[in-house]
Amino acid sequence: MAVRTNIRMTFLRSYNNYIYCMQGYFRKLYRFRPGIDKELEPITSLSNLPAAMCNLGNCLMVFTQTECDELTVEEYKDELADEKPRVL
C-alpha cells in the first residue's frame, strides 16, 4: 500500500477507520483510509506545531508546542465535516 504525499510524516495514529498523520513543521492534520485512499486528505489545522499525538478511543489528543515552548492539548473527535480541534 502506498499513499502519495510530498512531505514526510512524523506522527501516525489510527482512529475511526482512518490513519491520521502530521508533519512536525506544519500545523495540518491529514488522514487516509488504508487500501482505499490514494492521497492524504488535509482535514484541519492545529493552533500550534505538533509535538505528539495519541488515540484515546473516543478522540485524538494532539499535544502542540507554542513559540514560548509551552505545551497545549488539542482534542479532535471527527464528528462533523468542518470540525476544528478544541484546545483543552
Pairing type for strands 71-76 and 41-45 reads unpaired
Task: Indicate the pTM of the whole model.
Answer: 0.81
Backbone angles phi, psi at 70, to 5 degrees: -95, 140
Is the CATH number 2.40.10 carried by domain 11-87? yes
Q: How many CB atoms lie within 10 A of CB 24?
A: 12
Q: What is the side-by-side strand order in the sheet with 49-55?
A: 49-55, 60-65, 71-76, 86-87
Q: What is the pLDDT of residues 5-55, one digit of tens each?
A: 667 788 899 999 999 999 888 888 999 999 898 888 888 888 888 999 999
Taking the domains of the chain in order of start, what are their residue ranges?
11-87
Which residue type occupies 63?
F
